[in-house]
Amino acid sequence: MRFALLLLFVCTMSIDGIAQGKKPTIMVVPMDIWCQERGFWDVYENQGTIEGFPNYQQAIQGSRELTLVISKINSLFKDRGYGLKDLSNSIKANTRRTARNTLTISKNGNSLSMSPLDELNRQVKADIIVEIDWSINTVGPKHSITYNIRALDSYTNNQVAGAQGTGKPQFTSELPVLLEEAVVANMDDFLYQLQSHFDDCIENGREVVVEVGVFDDGSGRNLETEYGGMELREIIENWIAENTVNHQFLTSENTENIMLFEGVRIPLLKTNGQSQDAGGFINELRRFLKTKYSIESKNNSPSLGYSQIVIGEK
């Protein structure tokens, strides 16, 4: 009896520990397949290859069903203490920002310069993207829902949690009711997978990729150029080693002009307590090179989990 009570106490404490830990911010979006099947999909040609991507704005504006599903999933996460970034509100904010930037004119009549990288960095910074797909089944007067939900680390795009299932048939056809009944059965295991991944990020650092390149500016400088008896690539690699969590990284490419570091584990937070992404991390390297070696460089980071610094100029 004492052993049973002790075991119950330990299990309760473990669950409470998970619940009280820092939780990631979540954004819920429809899966690509859902968008494709319903026509919320944009296609373009990229160097002769046809590629496509979901049009979330059209999906939000054109599907009442999607709005209901996202609202229900959001409420399930909110009830469990997770921070949320709503897809619809984020799209509206980005639209307003685009309109504001378009109307921004300098005293000389010049418009605000917007590069493709600016557009990419405008995307909402959630820790985890939760993708959802579903279909409604009807047999006689009863209805059920089959769903597939998965969580992706927004820095690596790797899946960190997943759940699938079909709810019990019910006489109601209300989508939020069917969805909650189906999802709740697997919600605890899904959240355990998700939280375990985020706890690992807290303890061992968030995984990103760092690329270092060199501008062809005619100076003859490259990553083999020596400063104080050390090649520039050695200096950079040493800095990466000193500033990663537990010195965790892999140098997968190392030439006179390019260095590629993968599996780079950076601290989840900056020293001021703000969340840190790959671009913020590489900014510290840029400042280090300028302060100690008078080397100019450009931060050219296209996404949360991929940073690029180009040596030679800004």
Per residue in 278-311, pLDDT (tens digit) is 999 999 999 999 999 999 999 988 888 999 999 9
**Residue 245 in contact with residue 205, Cβ under 8 Å?**
yes
Phi and psi at residue 43, to the nearest 5°: -120, 140
The mean per-residue pLDDT over the stretch 235-259 comes to 96
Burial state string for 61-92 with b = 16 or more CB within 10 A and e = fewer than 16: eebeebeebbebbbebbeeeebebbbbbebbe
What number of residues does the chain have?
A: 314
Q: What is the pLDDT of residue 164?
A: 94
Q: What is the pLDDT of residue 267?
A: 94
Instruction: Extract the tokens encoding 48.
Output: 């002769």
Mean pLDDT over each residue of the chain, to the nearest integer? 83
Distance separating alpha carbons of residues 307 and 300, to the nearest angstrom: 7
Give yes or no for residue 121 having a pLDDT over 60.
no
Eight-state DSSP code of residue 110: P
Instruction: Extract the tokens encoding 161.
Output: 């949690």
The mean per-residue pLDDT over the stretch 200-207 comes to 94
**Residue 144 in contact with residue 171, Cβ under 8 Å?**
no
Distance separating alpha carbons of residues 85 and 10, to the nearest angstrom: 34
Q: Kindly indicate the confidence band of residue 185, based on its pLDDT and cuts at 50, 70 and 90.
A: confident
Phi and psi at residue 248, to the nearest 5°: -90, 115
Give yes or no for residue 271 having a pLDDT over 80.
yes
Q: What is the pLDDT of residue 123?
A: 56
Give yes or no for residue 107 having a pLDDT over 70.
no
Burial state string for 94-131 with b = 16 or more CB within 10 A and e = fewer than 16: beeeeeeeeeeeeeeeeeeeeeeeeeeeeebebbbbbb
Taking 3-state DSSP, the helix, strand and coil percentages for the chain, each rounded to the nearest 5, stand at 40, 30, 30
